[in-house]
């Protein structure tokens, strides 16, 4: 018999009427022949109310007691939900996280799930009950109640869907699905009928905010199909699934991260170990670094720039200054007023001129691009915070996201239940939320081209990549480091076979702008892909450290939610691959 997990967020269970309406949805699912597990959040803004109460007692509530307090919100809503179903004449049982057997680690207020036992759930389901599970909570090995971090009910729902091998996990919420960008900020935004896990991950932690990013990591890892849909409108919603099952588009969405701060260490000796020194220090203080850009460097020195959430700037700056002194860098600069705009699409790799299109849209608005990083499915630029909304609008329009798919009422195919391949449930239970590095790959087929001394003015990146695109060059990685003294540096990789063309085009571009071009005919690009790269602090350093220990210098770095890319000298490619496979516990292939 098919099994569906339905999750109702706070707004969907905000009052008794809404709870009754949600209960009817669960009953309807069961009557269409499914076993149903319902996961609920606390009613309305109840969790905020509880947080506020604690703050009125003490500025620093004890984390264990905080979890004790916060978990009560969901205990109220599950009980009421079960009563609602019973009052409508059907069988229901509510369970807390502990009663289900959701085991977590002991990191109070942001615990990670370790395992979930399914026996009790299965018995109740087989007995014909709808099981109402409290979201967001679990229990540690000592019996303490834990919570999974704000918004954690999504993670509970997807995790239950994973261990129960559910056919679908429906997320009922107050929006109609996943949009091409935040519809509150841009009315032209449209609902997407479907989106892949990776796109969603790249968008989610970038501020698209529809679902808890950890829940998507879970979904990807266990192949759980997720359907995000409105509680209040009978609309098709957005189906989140694997890249193979989704429609590849050069751009699926545009995201804005409003509160970015940048730090740059100037003139760090370009030698093995510099990045490791910096990022291990940051990881030790639990700061999650976002964009990392290291330029190609001149005269044996390179600049390393990275971004952190603006709130973490003071701490990150302290740590960076300490490392800068130790490394004899010549200075540390920062900027607190930045925003990151990203365009994401799984079809990006196969389309030409995507970068040019993005940069020229920004250039037409007179927006200066301060830093660029790319992954296979994402291009991110750092701009002044005040330019963020205009940048999103321009990029959204440039990719036709407001027009594509007509009125956007396409069907997600959400009710067609396609069973994913059965997985070994027992294997899934161990360390479900651990960082999972899937693969490390070496690509030795590319050449690296670098412009130095480009003028740092709006439109430069656009000019470069429009011209590169016109020349038919397929660009892979693009990195623009933080400009210094009014000059910018942009590097990109192309297939080695296109190197001559690239040099010729680049030479022309450079000559017109007083810039210089350097190139490396063969480089080695190493890509680490996986789940949890962004949400686990210090992953980047796990890559820098072994390379440093082997004396392998890093020429270029770029990061994203699901990938870490580094470029090293071609002759170090195989060695770097072996070292990284070892460091991440991957089999040699
Ligand atoms: N009630 C919790 C919160 O507000 C968990 C959730 O809603 O997902 O963060
Ligand atoms: Mg919520």
Q: Give the single-character DSSP code of 377.
A: T
Give per-residue pLDDT as tens, 297-354.
Answer: 677 788 899 999 898 999 999 999 999 999 999 999 999 999 999 998 888 877 777 8
Closest protein CA for atom 9 of ligand 1: 150
Q: Which residue has the tokens 């195919």?
A: 413
pLDDT at 297: 67
How far, in Å, from the CA of 109 to the mean position of ligand 1? 11
pLDDT at 416: 31
From the CA of 48, the nearest ligand is: 1
Closest ligand 1 atom to Cα of 154: 8
Q: What is the pLDDT of residues 367-417, one digit of tens each?
A: 999 889 888 888 999 999 999 999 999 999 999 998 654 333 333 333 233
Q: What number is the average pLDDT over the span 459-474? A: 86
Instruction: Using most ligand atoms within 8 A of CB, pick from 145, 146, 152, 212 the residue to mutate for ligand 1.
Output: 152
Number of helices (H), then strands (E), belonging to the chain: the values are: 17, 24
Residues enclosing ligand 1, CB less than 6 A? 9-10, 41-42, 47, 73, 135-136, 150-154
Q: What is the mean pLDDT of the chain?
A: 87
Mutation test of ligand 1: which of 7, 39, 41, 134 has the most ligand atoms closer than 8 Å to its C-beta? 41
Q: What is the 3-state secondary structure (H, E, C) of 197-229?
A: HHHHHHHHHHHHCCCCHHHHHHHHHHCCCEEEE
Residues 6+ apart with CB under 8 A from 582: 546
At residue 377, the pLDDT reads 85
Residues 6+ apart with CB under 8 A from 49: none
Indicate which ligand has the atom closest to the C-alpha of 42. 1
E strands present in 198-352: 226-230, 238-241, 253-269, 292-294, 301-309, 331-344
Model confidence over 416-462: pLDDT tens digits? Answer: 333 333 333 333 434 555 667 778 899 999 999 999 888 888 888 88
Cα 52 to middle of ligand 2, angstroms: 16
Please give the DSSP secondary-structure letter assigned to residue 185: T
Q: Measured from the CA of 149, which atom of ligand 1 is nearest? A: 9
Ligand 1 atom nearest to 74, measured from its CA = 1
Q: Supply the pTM of this predicted model.
A: 0.81
């Amino acid at each position: 018999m098919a099994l569906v997990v339905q999750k109702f967020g706070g707004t969907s269970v905000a009052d008794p009427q809404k709870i009754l309406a949600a209960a009817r949805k669960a009953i309807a699912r069961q009557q269409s022949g499914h076993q149903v597990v319902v996961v609920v959040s606390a009613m309305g803004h109840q969790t905020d109310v509880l947080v506020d109460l604690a703050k009125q007692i003490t500025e620093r509530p004890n984390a264990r007691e905080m979890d004790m307090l916060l978990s009560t919100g969901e205990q109220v809503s599950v009980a009421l939900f079960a009563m609602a179903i019973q009052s409508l004449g059907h069988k229901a049982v509510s369970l807390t996280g502990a009663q289900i057997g959701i085991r977590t680690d002991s990191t109070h207020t942001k615990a990670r799930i370790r395992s979930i036992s399914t026996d009790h759930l299965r018995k109740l389901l087989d007995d014909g009950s709808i099981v109402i599970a409290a979201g967001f909570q679990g229990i540690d090995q000592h019996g303490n109640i834990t919570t999974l971090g704000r918004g954690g009910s999504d993670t509970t729902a997807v995790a239950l869907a994973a261990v129960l091998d559910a056919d679908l996990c429906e997320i009922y919420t107050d929006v109609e699905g996943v949009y091409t960008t935040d519809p509150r900020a841009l009315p032209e935004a449209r609902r997407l009928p479907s989106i892949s896990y990776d796109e969603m991950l790249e968008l989610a932690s970038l501020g698209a905010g529809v679902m808890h990013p950890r829940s998507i990591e879970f979904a990807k890892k266990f192949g759980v199909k997720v359907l995000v849909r409105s509680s209040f409108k009978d609309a098709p919603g957005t189906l989140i699934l694997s890249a193979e099952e989704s429609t590849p588009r050069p751009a699926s969405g545009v995201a804005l991260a409003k509160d970015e701060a940048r730090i740059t260490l100037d003139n760090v000796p370009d030698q093995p170990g510099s990045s490791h020194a910096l990022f291990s220090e940051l990881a030790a203080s639990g700061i999650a670094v976002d964009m990392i850009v290291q330029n190609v460097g001149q005269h044996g020195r390179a600049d390393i720039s990275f971004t952190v959430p603006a709130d973490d700037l003071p701490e990150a700056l302290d740590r960076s200054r300490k490392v800068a002194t130790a490394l004899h860098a010549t200075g540390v600069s920062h900027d607190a007023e930045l925003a990151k705009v990203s365009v994401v699409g799984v079809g990006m790799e196969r389309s030409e001129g995507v970068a040019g299109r993005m940069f020229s849209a920004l250039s037409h608005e007179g927006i200066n691009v301060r830093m660029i990083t790319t992954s296979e499915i994402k291009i991110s630029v750092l701009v002044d915070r005040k330019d963020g909304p205009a940048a999103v609008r321009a990029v959204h329009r440039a990719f036709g996201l407001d027009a594509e798919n007509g009125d956007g009422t396409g069907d997600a195919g959400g009710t067609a239940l396609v069973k994913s391949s059965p997985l070994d449930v027992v294997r899934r239970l161990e360390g479900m939320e651990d960082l999972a590095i899937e693969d490390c790959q070496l690509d030795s087929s590319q050449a690296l081209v670098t412009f130095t001394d480009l003028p740092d003015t709006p439109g430069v990146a656009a000019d470069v990549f429009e011209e590169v695109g016109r020349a038919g060059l397929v660009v892979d990685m693009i990195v623009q480091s933080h400009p210094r003294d009014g000059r910018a540096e942009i590097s990109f990789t192309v297939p080695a076979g296109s190197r001559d063309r690239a040099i010729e085009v680049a030479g022309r571009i450079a000559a017109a702008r007083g810039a210089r071009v350097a190139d490396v005919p063969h480089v080695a690009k190493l890509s680490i892909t996986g789940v949890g790269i962004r949400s686990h602090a210090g992953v980047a350093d796990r890559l820098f450290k072994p390379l440093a220990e082997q004396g392998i210098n890093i020429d270029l770095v770029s990061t994203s939610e699901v990938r870490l890319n580094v470029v090293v000298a071609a002759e170090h490619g195989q060695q770097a691959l072996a070292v990284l496979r070892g460091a991440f516990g991957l089999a040699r292939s």
